[in-house]
Amino acid sequence: MNKRMNEQEMLACFDDAINFGHIFVTYQPKINHSTGRMIGAEALMRWSHPVYGMQYPSDFIPVLEKNDLIYRADLAVFESVCVFLRKCLDEKIKPVPISVNMSRYDIYRKDYVEKIEKLRQKYDIPVKYLHVEVTETSAIGGMELVSSVLKQLHDYGFIVEMDDFGSGYSSLNVLKDLAVDVIKLDMRFLSGDIGGRGGTIISAIVQMAKWLGTPIIAEGVETLEQADYMKSIGCKYIQGYLYSKPVVESEFLEKMQRLEHEPMTPAMVLTTAMDAGKFWDPSSMETLIFNNFVGGAVIFSYHEGKAEILRVNKKYIREIGMNMIEQEILETDPFIGMDEFNRKIFTDTLQRAIDSNDEEVCETWRTVCSKTCGEDKICVRSFIRMIGKTDYQYLFYAMVHNITAEKRQFNELFESERRFRFAIEQANVYAWEVELATKIMRPCFRCMRDLNIPSVVRNYPQSVIENKIFPPDYAETFRKSVEMLESGEVEQTEEIVPMTVGKVPFYVRYTLERDESGRPLKVYGSATLVVDD
Ligand code: C2E
Ligand code: CA
Ligand code: CA
């Protein structure tokens, strides 16, 4: 028989319910929807009266709370969970972390946290197997109180999950001010059209959780469509009827052994002084700086070749936005448009940034698809810095500059230089250039081939004198000419020099190039064979 008990009946039966296990625990798995592995489970209280049958939490929990009995019931649940975990550990069955609900009325009980810690010790359960779910509405009782309870829980090492996030109270602020380790987002509070406003709120919350580096679990997920949607916006942890209703211990044990396990990604540890939490606070100085003073910037997470953009500023959109709006960019990755080759350059740079813990730079080309102009290629210079890491992923901050125009100019220059070199080859001339500041000389192809000069010669002219390309008895005159050019005294020199060991006579000419402020920059040298008429 199933009859809803009234308040009087519940109060009368409560002691028996605790003592004889009429109040017991069911377990609902938490699953990584991307991998199908189990990441944990939630312990949910049930009351099965021997005569009246099953009672539901929505009926009896408010009654227990009102009558100050929830505390005892919650401790009973916690103890049952410890007993279960102990059994698993004794039988060498690897358990998953089990989260236990903490009523907001437990928060008023000064000794609740100590009590559960005592139970944990009594059954000798490693604390990593026990999580505590605290509901968002607990904050109604005052932030200081909740904060102090969270601190107590953390001091003992319990992972704290914020339950029913989004149910209303003050969501964003609560999250900002409370140190929770996991966020549980209840789909039922935000249901309706996931493509519309509901979806916008959900994806904003998921984004925010990511900026905070806090793992997020979607609760109450009933359909594959919902789960896929959540995954698509970056929330892969799912708890709900889609995977399993809350089930009794034996059934849960079977599921737990059947499925593979994996840990939930822990919160990001920020490696720099930057507080990522402030990045989503629209009024923070960090946001102001991010948006206004730093040029194009992006924050993204990275794990084994996969990256996900978490945040971009307006200038990023302008630099490489390709006509996309922010939301569209957030759905892409920072590799967008890169081919294998450029991708490799980028990921190598990420690795360097991880290794050096310093800023690293790379230039990569990507194909962009602009809605108005069709396809185009752009070159982006990225200054990349790692700002956070977990056991399993990294957080990066990159400043980007679109350097396509600069690159194109350079390429054109390179092209014309190449043509120039071909022309020299045709004209029977040996040519080279010397960068005065660095004393680096670059010879033409013919010099390299006929005179065996390497493609880059350092410490010019000393090194070529030593190599006897310029004969030693001409070294002094030769050095003088170079000095005169270097100091800008003359614009050009011309002399006949017997070159190489064979002393073959050449006209050697130098021309000076100055920079825009008139300082000597380069000299161009050429040598042509002296032909007797
Ligand atoms: P909650 O902590 O938000 O627990 C999740 C509730 O969602 C559970 O209801 C679960 O059975 C239900 N649920 C899970 N997946 C789905 C789904 O896909 N669709 C739908 N429609 N529902 C789903 P339940 O077990 O009835 O518990 C209701 C509430 O009672 C809990 O909400 C929690 O606030 C409270 N509660 C349950 N057990 C305990 C406990 O041991 N201690 C305390 N203090 N409160 C508890
Ligand atoms: Ca819960
Ligand atoms: Ca919940």
Cα angle: 263, vertex 265, 269; to 5 degrees:
135
Report whether the peptide linkage leading into residue 62 is cis, meaning its omega lies within 30 degrees of zero: no
pLDDT level of residue 206 (50, 70, 90 thresholds):
confident
Using alpha carbons, list the distances in angstroms from residue 392 to 185, 270, 469: 23, 14, 58
Using alpha carbons, list the distances in angstroms from residue 149 to 3, 138, 285: 37, 11, 30
Q: Which ligand is nearest to the CA of 133?
A: 2
The answer to which of 11-25, 164-178, 225-239 has the lowest mean pLDDT is: 164-178
Task: Classify domain 270-406 at the CATH topology level.
Answer: Beta-Lactamase (3.30.450)
Contact 71, 112 (CB under 8 A): yes
Same fold, 270-406 and 427-529: yes
Contact 368, 378 (CB under 8 A): yes
Give the position of tokens 């050019």.
485
In SS3 terms, 96-155 reads as: CCEEEEECHHHHHCCCHHHHHHHHHHHHCCCHHHEEEEEEHHHHHHCHHHHHHHHHHHHH
The answer to which of 54-68, 183-197, 226-240, 326-340 has the lowest mean pLDDT is: 183-197
Select from 1.10.760.10, 3.40.50.720, 3.30.450.20, 3.40.30.10 the CATH code of 427-529. Answer: 3.30.450.20
Q: What is the pLDDT of residues 96-117, one digit of tens each?
A: 999 999 999 999 898 999 999 9
Q: Which of 213-222, 295-304, 426-435 has the highest mean predicted lDDT (pLDDT)?
A: 213-222
Its pTM stands at: 0.61
In one letter, which amino acid is 213?
A: G
Q: What is the pLDDT of residues 55-96, one digit of tens each?
A: 999 999 999 999 999 999 999 999 999 999 999 999 999 999
Q: What is the mean pLDDT of residues 446-474?
A: 82
The percent of residues above 90 in pLDDT, for the chain, comes to: 39
First-to-final CA distance of the chain? 125
User: What's 7-259's CATH class?
Assistant: alpha beta
Question: Domain residues of the chain, as ranges?
Answer: 7-259, 270-406, 427-529
Pocket test for ligand 1, best of 101, 119, 131, 135 (most atoms within 8 A of CB): 101
Compute the distance from residue 66 Cα to the ligand 2 centre, in Å.
19
- Token pair of 422, please? 């071909």
**379 beta partners:** 365
Residues flanking ligand 1, CB < 6 Å:
28, 44-45, 56-58, 61, 70, 74, 77, 101, 103, 163-164, 220-222, 240-241, 246
Compute the distance from residue 78 Cα to the ligand 2 centre, in Å.
13
